[in-house]
Amino acid sequence: MVLYEPGAVLVTGGKSVTGHDAIRDAYNAFLSGGALLKLDTRAIVESGEGLAVLHGRWSLGPPSSSEGLSTEVVRRQPDGSWKFVIDNPNTPL
């Protein structure tokens, strides 16, 4: 959860969930079988206001496998790190 701001939004199962507890529950639901989530960030567009949009390709597996495109909005933190504000792993193709 260290990658997410406390009020971050994750789009999952066609719905948005907000906050660390809800995001943790969503990840537990699809990673509980031991699957590995990999993300390959393909593009970063940064504003001068401490925000950036990321686009990437992700894959999940095994035991079953799936893949898709993601769009995330991140914000620069006071310590210089970046955290997710919005995470949508279901960007239309």
Residue 82 pairs with which residues in a beta bridge? 76
Q: How many domains does the chain have?
A: 1
Question: 27: domain CATH number?
Answer: 3.10.450.50
pLDDT given at position 64: 75
Q: Which domain holds residue 46?
A: 4-91
Closest CA to 39 of 63, 12, 67: 67
Enter the DSSP assignment of 26. Answer: H
pTM over the 0.85 mark:
yes
Average pLDDT rounded to a whole number, residues 35-48: 93
Residues 73-87 have pLDDT tens digits of 999 999 999 999 999
Using pLDDT thresholds of 50, 70 and 90, give the confidence band for residue 60. confident
Flag whether pLDDT at 13 surpasses 90. no
